[in-house]
Structure 1
């Protein structure tokens, strides 16, 4: 596995080594030892999976306070545009985002540290999306940012009329109006 730096320090694209032949392929999806070498020590405690159809946009989500989460995300089947937005006030990259194409073919993973909002858009007929979290989900600590906030300038690569959202995702505030975000810990 190799790490590919992104435009925002701490957000890391991971590319596994895939061994294929006429029978199929084998890859190591996750190794704590290798992850720690490439990214740093993160203890994951929960794995989640979702299945979505074309046009679905999920996000931009985060967990607040003591329930903040770092995530390691990947796609088992299908293709998504995965997005991480820096929502750490005082950060030199506050309000900027990283977007990565993840799919069942490239098998890439994106690591999103705490202090980021996360979302994805399904670009294939269907997508099975998996993510590891370093903290347990707490419904009372959910936060969100509007997926279509013009200040974020995210190109979701979907026609506006084909985007499918949950009712909750329709109501998230713009970044400038978000009541509770994160503070940047200067190194």
Structure 2
């Protein structure tokens, strides 16, 4: 498995090797040795796994968890194709507001690690696109928030879509500046403290 950091500090892309034979393809989207080599610690204790299925043109995000408690995610597209975004929402981070993008698909099963406080968004580029998530915390509704994916101050290069599909929550999400003024964004120091606890275990 190969890995490389993305522009947002702490975010890594993992690309597994695929083994093909007449039956099909076998690969391993998560490999502990590669993860430890990239980040210097093991993956967080997994509290929940989740999965979304999206039609072409669906836009999800920008989603994040308050910190504390802080939630990390290991995200993989297992079917279809997405344009995936990582956005630094950590107040106090030297790269606050910085984003990066990558394409994930069900053939390569590349995965992205999102540390606590980094927002996640994606656009489904094919019908029946499946995205899976390993999460360090269980879903608690009041801790899960969103920032507008179309906030011009963030400037995500969303593809032109004839019929973009977003949830009511995502359409009503505040801008990054508004969320910051309201005290709704995760704290950088708190996010670092969460990761530090994993390193000690």
Q: Say whether residues 1:124 and 2:126 are aligned partners.
A: yes
Q: Give the CA RMSD over aligned residues.
A: 1.7
TM-score (norm. length: structure 2): 0.86
Aligned to 1:61: 63
Equivalent of residue 183 in structure 1, options 161, 181, 187: 187
Provide the rounded CA distance (Å) in 1 between the counterparts of 2:29 and 2:22: 20
After superposition, residues 83-94 of structure 1 pair within 5 angstroms as: 83-94=85-96
Provide the rounded CA distance (Å) in 2 between the counterparts of 1:142 and 1:97: 20
Q: Say whether residues 1:12 and 2:16 are aligned partners.
A: no
Q: Is the 8 A contact 2:3 2:34 kept in 1?
A: no
Provide the rounded CA distance (Å) in 2 between the counterparts of 1:29 and 1:79: 15
Larger proportion of helix:
2
Q: Is the 8 A contact 1:52 1:128 kept in 2?
A: yes
Secondary structure in 2 matching 1:88: coil
After TM superposition, give the deviation of residue 117 of structure 1 in Å: 1.3
Provide the rounded CA distance (Å) in 2 between the counterparts of 1:183 and 1:50: 27
After superposition, residues 1-187 of structure 1 pair within 5 angstroms as: 1-39=1-39, 40-41=41-42, 42-159=44-161, 161-178=162-179, 179=182, 180-185=184-189
Q: Is the 8 A contact 1:2 1:38 kept in 2?
A: no
Provide the rounded CA distance (Å) in 1 between the counterparts of 2:87 and 2:17: 27
After TM superposition, give the deviation of residue 182 of structure 1 in Å: 2.1
Larger proportion of strand:
1
Q: Is the 8 A contact 2:67 2:116 kept in 1?
A: no
Number of aligned residue pairs: 186
TM-score (norm. length: structure 1): 0.92
| Cα distance change, pair 19–60 in 1 and its aligned pair in 2 (3 A) | same
After TM superposition, give the deviation of residue 158 of structure 1 in Å: 3.2
Q: Is the 8 A contact 2:67 2:117 kept in 1?
A: no
Provide the rounded CA distance (Å) in 2 between the counterparts of 1:171 and 1:87: 18
After TM superposition, give the deviation of residue 66 of structure 1 in Å: 3.2
Provide the rounded CA distance (Å) in 1 between the counterparts of 2:139 and 2:9: 25
Provide the rounded CA distance (Å) in 2 between the counterparts of 1:124 and 1:75: 11
Provide the rounded CA distance (Å) in 2 between the counterparts of 1:182 and 1:125: 33
After TM superposition, give the deviation of residue 134 of structure 1 in Å: 0.8
